[in-house]
Amino acid sequence: MTLMRDRTLLIIFALFVLAAPLIFAPTGAAYPDLLQRFAIYGIFAIGFNILFGLTGYLSFGHAAFLGIGSYSAVWMFKLLTMNIVPALLLSVLLAGLFSLLIGYVSLRRSGIYFSILTLALAQMSYNLAYSVLTPLTNGETGLQLRLDDPRILDAAGAVGTLPSTNLFGLEMKAVFWNPTIFGYDLQFNWGYYVTAAMLILSFWISIRIFRSPFGMMLRAVKTNQTRLNYTGINSRPYTLAAFVISGMFAGLAGGLLASMDPLAGAERMQWTVGGEVVLMVVLGGMGTLIGPILGAVFIKYFENIFSKINDTVLQGWFSFMPGWLDDFFVTIVSPFVGRGWGLTLGALFMIVVIFLPGGLVYGAKRIGSLLTGAKRREAKVEAM
Amino acid sequence: MGILEVQNVNKRFGGLQALNNVNFSVEEGSVHALIGPNGAGKSTFLNCLIGKLKPDTGSVMFDGQAVLGKKPHEINQLGVSRVFQTPEIFSDLTVFENVMIPCFAHRDGSFKVNAFAKVMKDKEIRQKAEDILEDMGMKDKIKRHSGSLSRGDKRRLEMAMCLVQEPKLLLLDEPTAGMARADTNNTIDLLKHIGETRKITKVIIEHDMHVVFSLATTISVLAQGAIIAEGLPQEIKGHPKVREAYLGEAEV
């Protein structure tokens, strides 16, 4: 029965993702750049959930794998071709190898010591990218495309313009359909649909892992590692495999970020990025299938909305008030928006963790059971 | 030659000689009880058997293979299962999943990446798990969240998890510690039931004389880190050294 439900879930999810440019239109989020970010961070969070949600090992270092994915993709664009396929392959491969190394070292410990080790290793990678590895990463400026890059597989393009990323000729930036539906001006571009396909694929992989014996062992690691060891299971390779899988998802996300916008900077490897993915998973519901994606969309959406609000917008909001009160409210609210939107995120995060300890998915379930409970009561009344 | 042979095992913690030249042999098919007063070294001894502690000297052979230096999961794969003092189960998982995990461990070994197989489509594993739960009288609780079970059911579940692996040796660490008399009797009945249907060698570490004399075929007495007596239950009952060390002046 669960298998049937999984298939239904996957189909509904796929339809929702494919129709996202239409669905998000009323929220003002339906432009390609933001939709792509939803999908990419959704992939990042899905992968992270396989480690954190299933085994309970909390890594703060996954930003390093995101960064490595981006750097490898941009190098492929510079050296080989602007086609995103080799770029994504190299992103996933290198992130996988690197996570094998970091995972091997940090999984020697568990709990807080594991978290600190991943944090330290990721911060080391960040600093390396900033300083010693400048020939590879272009340091502070970030790695960018140049006109004189070799790109040995690509034919010479128009003189004086940078080529754009593509999938066998389909340009990522290109908008292939630009209709007006229900008065909303919609944009359907290739880039979003490439990331959407990857998101659906990632979601499918995640479902399969959740329902597999492998996934069951990972959940067993989280609930009682002692019992698992005395049951004849060697937990170390299981956690390492989960770590590498999540690292590869992070690499894919990093590669996709670079495919949509071909530049890579060290700030992508900073630990705050790794912390953000933790927030996404916790906020959405750790250990659930759909939760991490909800969390990613939630955070990226609010980041987008709140960071756009500035004092002028606020003046507009409060302009109905007398001047002194208007100024007062603007002063109070302004630290929470624009650049300070992180404050709002922190507050939202606290609200969710305190009132919905299982995340947004748990909240939705509670509302759902309230509704069906109400229906059942109605049915009882009718029967009487 | 017994299935489990322990020879000249010593373990010292700082100034304390926790185990002093312990020799211990378990016959295949027997129910061997290890008793002793608090601090006699019973838990240390057990931890040496299952790979949690490494003795300073001595050898432990199980089924013809050296056990010392092996990790807990390797020892389990040789055919040794362990029941803990407080039931150790996967309390976030369902009863069914709790029993399926040892099934997989038994069939597929200590590590296998089968990330694309489906648990629920594995008929062999499901059947085995259902059978053992049926046998342990827990079929009706198969979908229950195991953390919400009563203590007695948790104990039952833990036994099911061990038995489903068809172990050659079952180690029980004070299976009735802290139980009320009625629960203790239930556990004794459960162990007797297991003994009737399966020929599994058992080593029971126990405090409760009632449990020991209801189940054991052989008894060893450990006091101050050394085995002071070994024999049939009725021999141990009357053994003067045992009375002195363990039973004090009390009548059994």
Answer whether residue B252 shows pLDDT above 50.
no
Is A44 a domain residue?
Answer: yes
Q: What element of type H or E holds B9?
A: strand B4-13
Residues A321 and A232 in one domain: no
Residues B171 and B67 in one domain: yes
Is A243 a domain residue?
Answer: yes
Is A228 a domain residue?
Answer: yes
Residues B63 and B100 in one domain: no
Top pLDDT among A35 and B245 is at A35
Residues A266 and A354 in one domain: no
Q: Reduced to 3 states, what is the DSSP secondary structure of residue A315?
A: helix
Residues A275 and A383 in one domain: no
Residues A328 and A203 in one domain: no
Residues A278 and A317 in one domain: no
- DSSP conformation letters of A72-112: HHHHHHHHT-SBHHHHHHHHHHHHHHHHHHHHHHHTTS-HH
**Alpha-carbon gap, residue A72 to A89, rounded angstroms:** 9
Residue in B72, B93, B119 closest to A230 by CB:
B72
Number of H helices, E strands in chain A: 17, 8
In chain B, the number of structural domains is: 2
Residues B23 and B75 in one domain: yes
CB-CB neighbors (< 8 A) of B92 in chain A: 219, 222-223
Answer whether residue B250 shows pLDDT above 60.
no
B198: contact with A, CB 8 A cutoff: no
**Alpha-carbon gap, residue A197 to A307, rounded angstroms:** 28
Output the pLDDT for position A382: 44
What is the average per-residue pLDDT within B120-140? Answer: 93
Domain that holds residue A382: 309-384
**Alpha-carbon gap, residue A359 to A134, rounded angstroms:** 40
User: In chain B, what is the greatest distance between 2 CA atoms, to the nearest angstrom?
Assistant: 63
Output the pLDDT for position A1: 45
In chain A, the number of structural domains is: 2
Output the pLDDT for position A46: 97
Give the full edge-to-edge strand order of the sheet including B57-62. B16-26, B4-13, B57-62, B65-66
Residues B152 and B213 in one domain: no
Output the pLDDT for position B161: 95
Residues A46 and A193 in one domain: yes
Mark out chain A residues that contact chain B at CB-CB < 8 A: 2-3, 208-209, 211-217, 219-220, 222-224, 226-235, 237-238, 241, 245
- Residue A234 to residue B92, Cβ atoms within 8 A: no
Angle of the B95-108 helix axis to the A213-223 helix axis, nearest 10 = 120
Domain ends where: A239, A259, A289? A289
Residue B218 pairs in a beta bridge with B32
Residues B99 and B157 in one domain: yes
Confidence tier at A377 by pLDDT (50, 70, 90): low
Output the pLDDT for position A325: 80
Domain ends where: A289, A324, A343? A289
Domain that holds residue B103: 85-166
Is B151 a domain residue?
Answer: yes
Cβ contact A175:A188 at 8 Å: yes
CB-CB neighbors (< 8 A) of A245 in chain B: 115
Q: How far is B66 from chain A (nearest CA, A)?
A: 17
Answer whether residue B249 shows pLDDT above 60.
no
Output the pLDDT for position A35: 94
Compare all CA atoms of chain B with the CA of A213 and give the residue at the minimum distance: B119
Residues B171 and B159 in one domain: no
Cβ contact A359:A286 at 8 Å: yes
Residue in B89, B102, B165 closest to A224 by CB:
B89
Q: Which of A5-19, A110-124, A157-171, B111-125 has the lowest mean pLDDT?
A: A157-171
Output the pLDDT for position A384: 41
Top pLDDT among B239 and A85 is at A85
Cβ contact A108:A50 at 8 Å: no
Q: Which of A142-156, A229-243, B113-127 has the lowest mean pLDDT?
A: A142-156
Most confident of A50-54, A148-152, A271-275: A50-54
B46, B67, B84, B92: which to substitute to probe chain A, counting the most A Cβ within 10 Å? Answer: B92
B143: contact with A, CB 8 A cutoff: no
Residues B12 and B111 in one domain: no
Q: Reduced to 3 states, what is the DSSP secondary structure of residue B231?
A: strand
- DSSP conformation letters of B80-113: EEEE-SS----TTSBHHHHHHHHHHHHHH-S---
Residues A318-365 have pLDDT tens digits of: 777 777 787 888 888 878 777 788 888 888 888 888 888 888 888 888
C-beta neighbour count of A253 within 10 angstroms: 34
Residue in B105, B113, B115 closest to A232 by CB:
B105
- Residue A219 to residue B93, Cβ atoms within 8 A: yes
Residues B75 and B171 in one domain: yes
Confidence tier at A119 by pLDDT (50, 70, 90): very high
Tell me the two tokens of residue A58. Answer: 């909390």
Output the pLDDT for position A83: 92
Is A300 a domain residue?
Answer: no
Confidence tier at B131 by pLDDT (50, 70, 90): very high
Is A297 a domain residue?
Answer: no
Residues A172 and A262 in one domain: yes
Residues A26-84 have pLDDT tens digits of: 887 888 899 999 999 999 999 999 999 999 999 999 999 999 999 999 999 999 999 99
B118: contact with A, CB 8 A cutoff: yes
Is B180 a domain residue?
Answer: no
Q: How far is B131 from chain A (nearest CA, A)?
A: 19
Domain ends where: A230, A258, A289? A289
Residues A189 and A285 in one domain: yes
Is B183 a domain residue?
Answer: no
Tell me the two tokens of residue A117. Answer: 């080790």
Q: Locate the DSSP E strands across B74-223.
A: 80-83, 169-173, 201-205, 218-223
Residues B4 and B46 in one domain: yes
Is A354 a domain residue?
Answer: yes
Is A304 a domain residue?
Answer: no
Is B181 a domain residue?
Answer: no
Most confident of A217-226, A317-326, B28-37, B234-243: A217-226
Q: What element of type H or E holds B4?
A: strand B4-13
Residues A223-257 have pLDDT tens digits of: 999 999 999 999 999 999 999 999 999 999 999 99
Q: From residue B146, how far is each of B82, B89, B133, B153 by CA, in Å?
A: 19, 8, 13, 9
Residues A43 and A147 in one domain: yes
Cβ contact A216:A28 at 8 Å: no
Residues 31-60 of B with CB under 8 A from A: 50
End-to-end CA distance of chain A: 33
Output the pLDDT for position A381: 47
Residues A282 and A337 in one domain: no
- Residue B104 to residue A229, Cβ atoms within 8 A: no
Q: If you average pLDDT over every residue of chain B, what do you get?
A: 88
Compare all CA atoms of chain A with the CA of B146 and give the residue at the minimum distance: A223
Answer whether residue A159 shows pLDDT above 70.
no
Cβ contact A175:A186 at 8 Å: no
Residues B6 and B71 in one domain: yes
Residue in B72, B73, B120 closest to A2 by CB:
B120
Residues B58 and B171 in one domain: yes
Is B121 a domain residue?
Answer: yes
Residue in A219, A223, A231 closest to B105 by CB:
A231
Question: Which CATH number characterizes residue B120's domain?
Answer: 3.40.50.300
Is A116 a domain residue?
Answer: yes
Confidence tier at A197 by pLDDT (50, 70, 90): very high
Is B242 a domain residue?
Answer: yes
Q: What element of type H or E holds A347?
A: helix A341-355
Residues B11 and B55 in one domain: yes
- Look up residue A155 and give its DSSP letter: P
Residues A81 and A180 in one domain: yes
- Residue A214 to residue B115, Cβ atoms within 8 A: yes
B101: contact with A, CB 8 A cutoff: yes
Residues A326 and A188 in one domain: no
- Residue A224 to residue B115, Cβ atoms within 8 A: no
Is B16 a domain residue?
Answer: yes
